[in-house]
């Protein structure tokens, strides 16, 4: 028992690892996941709009993209993106972290697209009709009227996706970031290999929980607020496409 405790929770190792985790790992984890989320949001928005098009040849590529990047394990996408580009000689980026962000963007875009599509489709069609009837074009009405309302309704699943992506960012360890660019998991993993003790990963785990738990609280807070705050007649939160907070 004591051995297990030492193996997982050696306070000396945990405390010793924290400075590096805070100074290097935390920043890089946040950098990777927030960049991936932000870019994934933009791509996801385009995919969502494509997904509700009347034209099948606009819908089809979006559907294939979404099925692909939701269907593949995240680690596979990361490996394909990084090794696919670098081994084939198509070094499109200088930095390894850029490949990591590209992979995370692809993954996030697929999930976010489905969340946003559900949000957009949950808006009463009278909104689009009212916007069009004062002379707005389709995309203009989407941008000014539908999307702002749609996003508001899916803030909880969007935050959920951010949490999932933060955890998925740990998988970029396969790219082998060098010192300075390592995110939380890789730092922990390297120390574990040096010391033959898992406590460094426990320290990394504590960091993940420290980021994600507040975000979960934010979701719950938004959830209640969206429910209590003067709901519209048909103001139901769409349940589509979100992943459980527990992970994939």
Of 130, 179, 210, 213, which one interacts with other proteins (CB under 8 A)? 130
Alpha-helix residue ranges (DSSP H) falling in 88-198: 96-121, 125-133, 138-141, 147-153, 155-168, 184-195
CA distance 198 to 212: 21
Alpha-helix residue ranges (DSSP H) falling in the chain: 2-9, 11-20, 27-51, 56-71, 74-87, 96-121, 125-133, 138-141, 147-153, 155-168, 184-195, 199-228
Of 5, 53, 95, 133, which one interacts with other proteins (CB under 8 A)? 133
* Smallest distance from other proteins to CB 141, Å: 9
Looking at beta carbons only, is 131 or 237 nearer to other proteins?
131
Question: Is 126 an interacting residue with respect to other proteins (CB under 8 A)?
Answer: yes
Of 22, 42, 91, 129, which one interacts with other proteins (CB under 8 A)? 129
| Residue in 92, 58, 94, 242 with CA at minimum distance from that of residue 159 | 242
Looking at beta carbons only, is 94 or 234 nearer to other proteins?
234
CA 58 to chain centre: 25
CA distance 137 to 225: 32
CA distance 142 to 183: 37
Question: Is 132 an interacting residue with respect to other proteins (CB under 8 A)?
Answer: yes
Looking at beta carbons only, is 60 or 144 nearer to other proteins?
144
* Smallest distance from other proteins to CB 128, Å: 9
Of 137, 176, 214, 247, which one interacts with other proteins (CB under 8 A)? 137
Judged by CB under 8 A, which stretch of 9-17, 52-60, 110-118, 134-142 contacts other proteins?
Answer: 134-142
* Smallest distance from other proteins to CB 131, Å: 8
CA distance 68 to 65: 5
CA 192, 10, 168, 41 torsion-angle sign: negative
Looking at beta carbons only, is 25 or 119 nearer to other proteins?
119
Residues of span 139-158 touching other proteins by CB under 8 A: 140, 144-145, 148-149, 152
CA 31 to chain centre: 12
Of 124, 206, 218, 222, which one interacts with other proteins (CB under 8 A)? 124
Looking at beta carbons only, is 149 or 216 nearer to other proteins?
149
Judged by CB under 8 A, which stretch of 37-45, 68-76, 121-129, 161-169 contacts other proteins?
Answer: 121-129
| Residue in 57, 58, 76, 56 with CA at minimum distance from that of residue 68 | 76
CA 155, 161, 164, 165 torsion-angle sign: negative
* Smallest distance from other proteins to CB 186, Å: 42
Residue with tokens 């489709």: 121
Footprint of other proteins (CB under 8 A): 124, 126-127, 129-137, 140, 144-145, 148-149, 152, 230, 232
């Amino acid at each position: 028992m004591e051995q297990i405790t030492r193996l997982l929770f050696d306070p000396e190792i945990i405390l010793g690892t924290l400075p590096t985790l805070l100074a290097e790992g935390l920043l890089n984890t946040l950098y990777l996941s927030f960049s991936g989320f932000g870019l994934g949001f933009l791509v996801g928005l385009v995919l969502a709009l494509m997904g509700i098009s009347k034209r099948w040849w606009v819908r089809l590529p979006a559907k294939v993209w979404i099925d692909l990047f939701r269907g593949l394990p995240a680690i596979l996408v990361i490996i394909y993106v990084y090794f696919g580009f670098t081994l084939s000689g198509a070094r499109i980026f200088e930095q390894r972290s850029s490949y990591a962000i590209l992979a995370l963007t692809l993954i996030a875009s697929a999930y976010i697209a489905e969340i946003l599509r559900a949000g957009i489709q949950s808006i009463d069609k009278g909104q689009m009709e009212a916007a069009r009837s004062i002379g707005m074009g389709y995309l203009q009405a989407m941008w000014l009227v539908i999307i702002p309302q749609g996003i508001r309704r899916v803030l909880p699943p969007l935050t959920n996706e951010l949490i999932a992506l933060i955890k998925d960012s740990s998988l970029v360890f396969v790219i082998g970031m060098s010192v300075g660019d390592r995110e939380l998991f890789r730092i922990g993993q390297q120390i574990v290999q040096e010391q033959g003790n898992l406590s460094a990963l426990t320290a990394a785990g504590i960091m993940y929980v420290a980021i994600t738990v507040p975000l979960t609280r934010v979701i719950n807070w938004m959830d209640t607020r969206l429910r209590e705050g003067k709901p519209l007649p048909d103001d139901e939160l769409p349940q589509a496409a979100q992943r459980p907070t527990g992970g994939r």
